[in-house]
Chains A and B, each alone.
Chain A
Amino acid sequence: MRRILLIIVGLFAFATIAAVFIYVVFTGPGDIPPASRDLANLSAQDRFEMEQQGEYVARAGDCVACHKSSDGLSLAGGTPMETPVGTVYGSNITPSRDHGIADYSADDLYRAMVYGITPEGTHLYPAMPYTSYHAISRADNDALWVWLMAQNPVDRESRPAEMMFPFNLRPLLAFWNLIYRPDPPDQPIAGLTDSAPDDDPSERGRYLVEVLGHCSECHTPRNFAYARKTDAHFEGTVIEGALAPDITPAGLARRGWNADDLAQFLGTGLSPQGVMTFRMFPVLNHSTKYMTPEDLQAVAHYLSKDVPPSEPPAHRPEAIAQNSEGHQLYLGLCAGCHGSDGEGRPFGSIPLQGNTSAMFDNPLNLVRVIREGIPARHLTGDQRMQEMPAFDDTLDDDDLTALVNYLRQRWGGHDAPLAASQVINTPG
């Protein structure tokens, strides 16, 4: 008995020593390449140019969407990000001496962006998408640093993360990183600021999508450890209560997207397939609408891989006879704005013919939009869409099911109706 106890204690001690050894030796930050230029001695002209470049890097990386405060200060921190194991808040990344990143060097910023480790050695939660940013070019990092340091400091404390045990033990993240954090590429990728004009635009598209844009952080399903499933890249998943759809080339083509639609959607928030909703709307507001037309095209071609889109599911008038309850509800509550045949109205409401949400297998986004409505959208330029009212109080579960099925059957290419339980208890 005593012997078994000794063995157990011995094994435990060995495991602890091994874990400490692994932690100390293998889980620190990797190499930090030298700065792209002498940042301590920038001429006024160089500094100005780097600030401009850095602002564009920050836009492309969509820093503000997560790092803005609830009262709208751009980088002061506070936006909640809800995960199944707790909530993380975007931190203050203004150059505030007490609460921000005033003491960060450009190397420190690189360590945080690429390895998810602060200058003090604290591990960031991977809500900070260092798993995507890991391939940022040193030149982009340095431009970003120059821009960040030129912003107004906001003296406001960052809100600590509220994670469940054991996920609140940050050193454990070191082991998560060991398994799931990709290393920076052996050959540095040219970034936005150090690519040559004649570089392949598809490489720029890849860099914008996979690195700075960190699209896969939402659009790729996650495994039991909340790491992205590398074998299901861009196949879509439910995150923060909404479906981030399949954006693989095949998935996009199946729903009728071509590269021009994608570029239009990312640049204006609106395309023949619909209007931006849920967590994609802040992406438009803080990031994609600032991108150049050339970069939007590069992103769109990279995502679509120029796979020719299938014709969107034909309008199926037989749904009218198939689901007359849904048809009556549609005419009574939706057709006033969306039109009797789903034609929509410019600047008012989207057409339903070709609508992407009606095509998803998962009805979650459709259900939520009908229940909750959509606030009036001021998109880019003079483009806007009116408020869609919420119908939660108007429709009971049976009505909602009939209406959702009708939309899917008439415009989404779905034939078989979903059961009420599949619509009402949509996994979210």
Chain B
Amino acid sequence: MSDRMLTISMEINGTPTDPVDLPEDLMLLEYLQEYLNLTGTRYGCGQGVCRACAVIHDAPDGPKVVPACITGVAWANGRSFRTVEGHATRDDQGAITQLSAIQQAFLDHFSFQCSYCTPGFVASATALVERLETAPVARGDVEEVVLKALNGNICRCTGYVRYLEAARDVILSTPGLTTEEVAISDTAT
């Protein structure tokens, strides 16, 4: 680890963090876990492939999923992120009063067993739902769009089908995320 330091602050789950001096090559995941005690984001492969560490980056042009294990604080500095701790609604004491639609659907569908991959799946599926709020897709294309958005997340208990079904159900039952237009997949030859 580098002994050069950078003064870093960012916004995590809607709250600006206090500026703190960090090693310039610290990864975002280590910052979340070791400095902010946000341990829900998981360390999987450590090389940005399995997406257990996926968090949402709220970019100016919309939410994007980034792998926190290989994204450095040098880039995260000044930007805004959401982790798995930030999706549910909480009361004044910080206790969860309502899970997000995606989180609830994953529970209802028994999507996971060990749950190690779940925070990453929540991030990918939530970012997808939010993208569809501004750019809805035809109902017939939902299956394909869900697969594309979640395909990179790896689950070793093989919960894939239930994750995909849960995300599909949320999208199809939420008004405004889909249109009745003819699906691209139906027009393609």
Spell out A's residues near B (CB within 8 Å).
328-329, 331-333, 335-337, 340, 345, 348-349, 376, 386-387, 389, 393
Contacts and interface: CB of A to CB of B under 8 A. Distances in A.
Contacts of B48: 336-337, 386, 389
A333 B25 contact: no
B69 interface: yes
Contacts of B75: 328-329, 331-333
22 contacts: A328-B6, A328-B74, A328-B77, A329-B74, A329-B75, A331-B24, A331-B75, A332-B72, A332-B73, A332-B75, A332-B76, A332-B77, A333-B72, A335-B25, A335-B72, A336-B67, A336-B70, A337-B47, A337-B48, A337-B70, A348-B47, A389-B48
Interface string B1-31: 1100010000000000000000011010000
Contact of A393 (B49, B64, B71, B73): B64
A333 B75 CA distance: 7
Given A336-B69, A340-B2, A393-B64, A331 B49 contact: no
Interface string B48-80: 110000000000000010010111111111000
Contacts of A329: 74-75
Contacts of B67: 336, 389
A333 B64 contact: no
Contact of A345 (B1, B27, B47, B69): B47
Most buried by B among A336, A345, A349: A336
A348 B50 CA distance: 13
Name the interface size band of chain B: 20 to 34
A336 B27 CA distance: 7
Contacts, number: 49
A335 B46 CA distance: 12
A376 B48 CA distance: 12
B72 A386 contact: no
A349 B47 contact: yes
A333 B71 contact: yes
Given A328-B77, A329-B75, A336-B27, 10 more contacts: A328-B6, A328-B75, A329-B74, A331-B25, A332-B72, A332-B76, A333-B75, A335-B25, A336-B67, A376-B49
Contacts of B64: 393
Contacts of A337: 47-48, 70
Contacts of A393: 64
B128 to A, nearest CB: 15
A332 B71 contact: yes
* 10 shortest interchain CB distances as A-B pairs: A332-B75, A336-B70, A331-B74, A332-B72, A332-B74, A340-B25, A328-B74, A331-B72, A348-B47, A331-B25
Contacts of B76: 332
A345 B70 CA distance: 13
B25 A386 contact: no
A403 to B, nearest CB: 11
Contacts of A387: 49
B127 to A, nearest CB: 13
Contact of A340 (B1, B69, B70, B73): B1
Nearest to A345: B47
A331 B75 CA distance: 7
Contacts of B74: 328-329, 331-332
Contacts of A335: 25, 72
Contacts of B6: 328
Contacts of B1: 340
B157 to A, nearest CB: 22
Nearest to A336: B70
A329 B77 CA distance: 11
A70 to B, nearest CB: 16
Nearest to B45: A386
B27 to A, nearest CB: 6
Contacts of A336: 27, 47-48, 67, 69-72
Most buried by B among A332, A337, A376: A332
Contacts of B47: 336-337, 345, 348-349, 386
A106 to B, nearest CB: 42
A373 to B, nearest CB: 11
Contacts of A345: 47
A393 B1 CA distance: 28
B189 to A, nearest CB: 16
A30 B102 CA distance: 72
B139 to A, nearest CB: 27
Contacts of A332: 71-77
Contacts of B2: 340
Contacts of A328: 6, 24, 74-75, 77
Contacts of A348: 47
A340 B27 CA distance: 11
A161 to B, nearest CB: 24
Interface in B123-149: none
